[in-house]
Amino acid sequence: MSALAALLRNVPIFDGLGDAVLERLASRCVPRAVGAGFMLFHAGERCTGLYVVLEGRVRIYRTSPDGREQTLAVEGPGRPVAELPLFDGGPYPATAVTTAPSRLMFLPRGEFEHAFRTDPDVAASVVRALGVRLRHMVQLVETLAFRDVAARLAMLLADHAERRGQPEGDGVALDLERTQEELAAEIGTARESVSRAMKQLKVRGLIRKQTGMRLLLAPAERLRAWARGGGE
Protein backbone atom coordinates (compact mmCIF):
# COMPACT_ATOMS: atom_id res chain seq x y z
CA MET A 1 0.00 0.00 0.00
CA SER A 2 1.25 3.48 -0.84
CA ALA A 3 2.04 5.95 1.93
CA LEU A 4 -0.84 8.18 0.84
CA ALA A 5 -3.34 5.34 0.91
CA ALA A 6 -2.08 4.34 4.36
CA LEU A 7 -2.75 7.88 5.58
CA LEU A 8 -6.26 7.78 4.17
CA ARG A 9 -6.95 4.61 6.14
CA ASN A 10 -6.58 6.66 9.35
CA VAL A 11 -9.30 9.11 8.28
CA PRO A 12 -12.61 8.20 9.97
CA ILE A 13 -14.75 8.45 6.82
CA PHE A 14 -12.45 5.96 5.04
CA ASP A 15 -12.09 3.56 7.96
CA GLY A 16 -12.66 -0.03 6.94
CA LEU A 17 -12.14 0.43 3.19
CA GLY A 18 -10.18 -2.13 1.20
CA ASP A 19 -6.68 -1.45 -0.06
CA ALA A 20 -7.78 -1.18 -3.70
CA VAL A 21 -10.41 1.46 -2.88
CA LEU A 22 -7.95 3.45 -0.80
CA GLU A 23 -5.39 3.35 -3.60
CA ARG A 24 -7.95 4.66 -6.08
CA LEU A 25 -8.87 7.53 -3.79
CA ALA A 26 -5.23 8.31 -3.04
CA SER A 27 -4.42 8.51 -6.75
CA ARG A 28 -7.01 11.27 -7.10
CA CYS A 29 -5.77 13.39 -4.19
CA VAL A 30 -3.83 16.61 -4.71
CA PRO A 31 -1.15 17.47 -2.09
CA ARG A 32 -0.98 21.02 -0.77
CA ALA A 33 1.52 22.70 1.56
CA VAL A 34 0.49 26.01 3.12
CA GLY A 35 1.60 28.31 5.91
CA ALA A 36 -0.20 29.35 9.07
CA GLY A 37 -3.15 31.66 8.49
CA PHE A 38 -4.05 30.20 5.10
CA MET A 39 -7.79 30.27 4.40
CA LEU A 40 -8.95 26.97 2.94
CA PHE A 41 -12.45 28.32 2.38
CA HIS A 42 -14.99 30.79 3.76
CA ALA A 43 -18.50 30.08 4.98
CA GLY A 44 -20.91 30.41 2.08
CA GLU A 45 -18.44 29.47 -0.65
CA ARG A 46 -19.22 26.61 -3.01
CA CYS A 47 -17.83 23.30 -1.79
CA THR A 48 -15.07 22.12 -4.12
CA GLY A 49 -13.83 19.06 -2.31
CA LEU A 50 -12.57 17.39 0.85
CA TYR A 51 -9.40 18.28 2.75
CA VAL A 52 -7.46 15.84 4.92
CA VAL A 53 -4.84 17.17 7.33
CA LEU A 54 -1.48 15.39 7.07
CA GLU A 55 0.53 17.78 9.26
CA GLY A 56 -0.42 20.93 11.11
CA ARG A 57 -3.82 22.14 12.30
CA VAL A 58 -6.96 23.64 10.79
CA ARG A 59 -9.49 25.67 12.78
CA ILE A 60 -13.11 25.56 11.66
CA TYR A 61 -15.30 28.38 12.92
CA ARG A 62 -18.42 30.48 12.40
CA THR A 63 -18.60 34.27 12.66
CA SER A 64 -21.63 36.06 14.12
CA PRO A 65 -23.06 39.23 12.56
CA ASP A 66 -21.28 41.32 15.21
CA GLY A 67 -17.92 39.73 14.38
CA ARG A 68 -17.58 37.21 17.21
CA GLU A 69 -16.05 33.87 16.29
CA GLN A 70 -17.14 30.46 17.59
CA THR A 71 -14.72 27.62 16.98
CA LEU A 72 -16.52 24.43 15.95
CA ALA A 73 -13.47 22.17 15.71
CA VAL A 74 -9.69 22.18 15.46
CA GLU A 75 -8.57 19.31 13.23
CA GLY A 76 -5.09 17.81 13.29
CA PRO A 77 -3.24 15.05 11.42
CA GLY A 78 -5.48 12.34 9.99
CA ARG A 79 -8.65 14.39 10.34
CA PRO A 80 -10.98 15.41 7.48
CA VAL A 81 -12.14 18.97 6.90
CA ALA A 82 -15.42 19.90 5.17
CA GLU A 83 -16.90 16.48 4.52
CA LEU A 84 -20.49 17.52 5.33
CA PRO A 85 -21.28 19.80 2.34
CA LEU A 86 -20.09 17.16 -0.12
CA PHE A 87 -23.49 15.47 0.04
CA ASP A 88 -26.16 18.15 -0.03
CA GLY A 89 -24.71 20.32 -2.78
CA GLY A 90 -24.72 23.31 -0.45
CA PRO A 91 -21.92 25.76 0.38
CA TYR A 92 -19.35 25.40 3.12
CA PRO A 93 -21.22 26.03 6.40
CA ALA A 94 -18.17 27.43 8.19
CA THR A 95 -14.76 28.97 7.56
CA ALA A 96 -11.50 26.99 7.78
CA VAL A 97 -8.02 28.43 8.37
CA THR A 98 -4.69 26.81 9.18
CA THR A 99 -3.26 27.72 12.58
CA ALA A 100 0.18 26.25 11.86
CA PRO A 101 2.22 25.40 8.74
CA SER A 102 0.31 22.46 7.30
CA ARG A 103 0.40 19.70 4.69
CA LEU A 104 -2.96 18.74 3.30
CA MET A 105 -4.49 16.34 0.83
CA PHE A 106 -7.33 17.62 -1.31
CA LEU A 107 -9.83 15.22 -2.89
CA PRO A 108 -11.94 17.04 -5.54
CA ARG A 109 -15.68 16.80 -5.03
CA GLY A 110 -16.33 15.01 -8.31
CA GLU A 111 -13.88 12.22 -7.46
CA PHE A 112 -15.39 11.81 -4.00
CA GLU A 113 -18.95 11.69 -5.35
CA HIS A 114 -17.97 9.05 -7.89
CA ALA A 115 -16.47 6.84 -5.16
CA PHE A 116 -19.47 7.40 -2.89
CA ARG A 117 -22.01 6.49 -5.56
CA THR A 118 -20.23 3.49 -7.04
CA ASP A 119 -18.67 1.81 -4.01
CA PRO A 120 -21.00 0.67 -1.18
CA ASP A 121 -18.05 0.36 1.22
CA VAL A 122 -17.25 4.05 0.75
CA ALA A 123 -20.92 4.96 1.29
CA ALA A 124 -21.15 2.88 4.49
CA SER A 125 -17.95 4.40 5.92
CA VAL A 126 -19.13 7.91 5.15
CA VAL A 127 -22.51 7.35 6.82
CA ARG A 128 -20.81 6.05 9.98
CA ALA A 129 -18.46 9.04 10.10
CA LEU A 130 -21.29 11.51 9.57
CA GLY A 131 -23.17 9.94 12.46
CA VAL A 132 -20.16 10.47 14.72
CA ARG A 133 -19.82 14.08 13.55
CA LEU A 134 -23.53 14.72 14.14
CA ARG A 135 -23.28 13.40 17.68
CA HIS A 136 -20.29 15.70 18.25
CA MET A 137 -22.23 18.74 17.02
CA VAL A 138 -25.23 17.90 19.21
CA GLN A 139 -22.92 17.59 22.18
CA LEU A 140 -21.27 20.90 21.30
CA VAL A 141 -24.64 22.68 21.24
CA GLU A 142 -25.62 21.13 24.58
CA THR A 143 -22.29 22.04 26.16
CA LEU A 144 -22.33 25.67 25.00
CA ALA A 145 -25.96 26.15 25.95
CA PHE A 146 -26.18 24.47 29.33
CA ARG A 147 -22.75 24.08 30.93
CA ASP A 148 -20.51 26.51 32.80
CA VAL A 149 -16.95 27.16 31.63
CA ALA A 150 -15.30 24.48 33.77
CA ALA A 151 -17.83 21.87 32.61
CA ARG A 152 -17.35 22.89 28.97
CA LEU A 153 -13.60 22.59 29.37
CA ALA A 154 -13.94 19.16 31.01
CA MET A 155 -16.10 17.94 28.09
CA LEU A 156 -13.60 19.28 25.56
CA LEU A 157 -10.66 17.62 27.33
CA ALA A 158 -12.61 14.35 27.45
CA ASP A 159 -13.09 14.50 23.67
CA HIS A 160 -9.40 15.11 23.06
CA ALA A 161 -8.40 12.42 25.57
CA GLU A 162 -10.51 9.82 23.76
CA ARG A 163 -9.19 10.81 20.33
CA ARG A 164 -5.50 11.39 21.04
CA GLY A 165 -4.72 10.52 24.65
CA GLN A 166 -2.44 7.72 25.83
CA PRO A 167 -3.16 5.59 28.91
CA GLU A 168 -0.85 6.38 31.81
CA GLY A 169 -1.49 4.65 35.10
CA ASP A 170 -5.18 5.04 35.86
CA GLY A 171 -5.37 8.27 33.86
CA VAL A 172 -4.75 9.63 30.37
CA ALA A 173 -1.72 11.59 29.14
CA LEU A 174 -2.58 14.20 26.52
CA ASP A 175 -0.43 16.55 24.48
CA LEU A 176 -3.04 19.27 24.18
CA GLU A 177 -1.28 21.34 21.48
CA ARG A 178 -3.55 24.30 22.17
CA THR A 179 -3.04 27.64 23.86
CA GLN A 180 -5.53 28.94 26.39
CA GLU A 181 -6.70 31.43 23.76
CA GLU A 182 -7.48 28.55 21.38
CA LEU A 183 -9.27 26.61 24.11
CA ALA A 184 -11.32 29.72 24.92
CA ALA A 185 -12.39 30.02 21.28
CA GLU A 186 -13.44 26.37 21.18
CA ILE A 187 -15.71 26.62 24.22
CA GLY A 188 -16.98 30.15 23.63
CA THR A 189 -15.38 32.07 26.49
CA ALA A 190 -12.39 34.30 27.39
CA ARG A 191 -8.82 33.18 28.07
CA GLU A 192 -9.06 34.34 31.70
CA SER A 193 -12.09 32.10 32.20
CA VAL A 194 -10.18 29.12 30.81
CA SER A 195 -7.34 29.80 33.25
CA ARG A 196 -9.78 29.79 36.17
CA ALA A 197 -11.47 26.63 34.86
CA MET A 198 -8.11 24.83 34.59
CA LYS A 199 -7.44 25.63 38.25
CA GLN A 200 -10.90 24.35 39.20
CA LEU A 201 -10.31 21.06 37.36
CA LYS A 202 -6.95 20.68 39.11
CA VAL A 203 -8.58 21.18 42.51
CA ARG A 204 -11.14 18.50 41.58
CA GLY A 205 -8.37 16.09 40.60
CA LEU A 206 -9.53 15.97 36.97
CA ILE A 207 -6.28 17.53 35.76
CA ARG A 208 -3.70 15.67 37.80
CA LYS A 209 -0.55 17.18 36.36
CA GLN A 210 0.37 19.84 33.80
CA THR A 211 3.76 20.33 32.14
CA GLY A 212 3.45 22.99 29.47
CA MET A 213 0.78 21.70 27.09
CA ARG A 214 1.08 18.10 28.31
CA LEU A 215 -1.65 17.08 30.73
CA LEU A 216 -2.26 14.04 32.87
CA LEU A 217 -6.03 13.73 33.10
CA ALA A 218 -8.55 11.62 34.89
CA PRO A 219 -10.27 9.11 32.54
CA ALA A 220 -12.57 10.66 29.95
CA GLU A 221 -15.69 9.11 31.46
CA ARG A 222 -14.91 10.75 34.81
CA LEU A 223 -14.42 14.14 33.15
CA ARG A 224 -17.79 13.80 31.44
CA ALA A 225 -19.54 12.57 34.59
CA TRP A 226 -18.32 15.60 36.51
CA ALA A 227 -19.29 17.97 33.70
CA ARG A 228 -22.81 16.54 33.65
CA GLY A 229 -23.15 16.91 37.41
CA GLY A 230 -22.44 13.29 38.26
CA GLY A 231 -18.94 13.81 39.69
CA GLU A 232 -17.77 14.96 43.08
Q: How confident is the model at residue 231 (pLDDT cuts 50, 70, 90)?
A: very low
Domain range summary for the chain, segments of one domain joined by +: 3-144, 148-227
Say whether pLDDT at 230 is over 70. Answer: no
Say whether pLDDT at 173 is over 60. Answer: yes
| Half-sphere CA count of 41, side-chain side, radius 13 A | 18
What are 24-80's pLDDT values in tens digits?
Answer: 888 989 999 999 999 999 999 999 988 989 899 999 999 888 888 888 888 888 888
Q: Apex CA 144: angle with CA 141 and CA 150, to 5°?
A: 140
C-alpha pair distances (Å), 142 with each of 46, 97, 157: 29, 25, 16
Q: How confident is the model at residue 142 (pLDDT cuts 50, 70, 90)?
A: low
pLDDT in the model for residue 144: 58
Say whether pLDDT at 205 is over 80. Answer: yes
State whether CATH 1.10.10.10 applies to domain 148-227: yes
Q: What mean pLDDT is predicted for residues 198-204?
A: 94
Across the chain, mean pLDDT equals 85
pLDDT in the model for residue 172: 96
Regarding predicted confidence, which is higher, 8 or 92?
92
Q: What mean pLDDT is predicted for residues 147-162?
A: 88
pLDDT in the model for residue 145: 59
| CATH assignment, 3-144 | 2.60.120.10
